[in-house]
Structure 1
Amino acid sequence: MTDFAEYVTDIVHEPTQADSPGFDLTVADVYEVVEPGRIDFGGGELDPAGVAPHTSEKRNPDDDYEWWTLRAGQYLIEYNESLTGEATVTLQPRTELLERGATHPTLHVAALPRVPLSVGGAGLKLKENARVSTIVETEEMPSNSE
Structure 2
Amino acid sequence: MDLLAGKDAANRVAGMINAKYQVHRYCVHLTVKSVYSLDPVGQLDFGGNEYVPAGKIEIATQHHRPEDRYEWWDLGRGCYFIEFNETLELAENEIALLEPDERLLRAGASHVTIFLRGHVAPIETLLHVEALRLQVKTNARVSLLRLFRLEGQAAPAKLPAARATGEPKKTPKKKPAVR
TM value normalised by structure 1? 0.89
**Which moves more between the two structures, 107-116 or 11-20?**
107-116
Using a 3 Å threshold, how does the CA distance of structure 1 residues 85 and 138 change in structure 2: closer, same or farther?
Answer: closer
Following TM superposition, by how much is the alpha carbon of 1:85 offset from its aligned partner in structure 2, in angstroms? 3.1
- Deviation of 1:49 after TM superposition, in Å, equals 1.4
**Is the CA contact 1:35–1:51 (under 8 Å) kept in the aligned structure 2?**
no
Decide which of 135, 148, 160 is 1:125's aligned counterpart. 135
Q: CA deviation at 1:20?
A: 4.9
How do 1:94-133 and structure 2 match up within 5 A? 94-110=101-117, 111=120, 113-133=123-143
User: What's 2:98 paired with?
Assistant: 91
Report how far residue 84 of structure 1 moved.
Answer: 1.2
Q: Shift of residue 55 of structure 1?
A: 2.3
**What is the identity percentage for the equivalent residue pairs of Structure 1 and Structure 2?**
35
Kept after mapping to 2: 8 A contact 1:71/1:123:
yes
**Deviation of the 1:129 alpha carbon:** 0.2
Gaps spanning 5+ residues in structure 1: where? none
Show the counterpart of 1:34.
Answer: 39
* TM superposition score normalised by structure 2: 0.73
C-alpha RMSD of the superposition = 1.9
Instruction: Output aligned runs, 1:1-146, within 5 Å.
Output: 1-2=4-5, 3-86=8-91, 87-110=94-117, 111=120, 113-138=123-148
Q: Deviations over 1:74-112 (max 9, x none)?
A: 101000000013232000000000011100000010225
Secondary structure of 1:71's match?
strand
Structure number, greater radius of gyration: 2
What letter is aligned with 1:93? Answer: P
Specify whether residues 5 and 113 from structure 1 end up closer, same or farther in structure 2 by C-alpha distance, changes over 3 A only.
Answer: closer
Taking a change above 3 Å as real, the CA distance of residues 109 and 82 of structure 1, as seen in their structure-2 partners, is same
- Please, which moves more after superposition, 125-134 or 104-113? 104-113
For 2:111, the aligned partner's letter is: H
Amino acid at match of 1:80: N
Q: Which runs of 5+ in 2 are unaligned?
A: 158-179
In the alignment of these two chains, the number of paired residues is 142
The Cα offsets for residues 49-84 of structure 1, whole Å up to 9 and x where unpaired, read as: 111011210112222211001111110100000001
Look up the SS of the partner of 1:120 in the other structure. Answer: strand
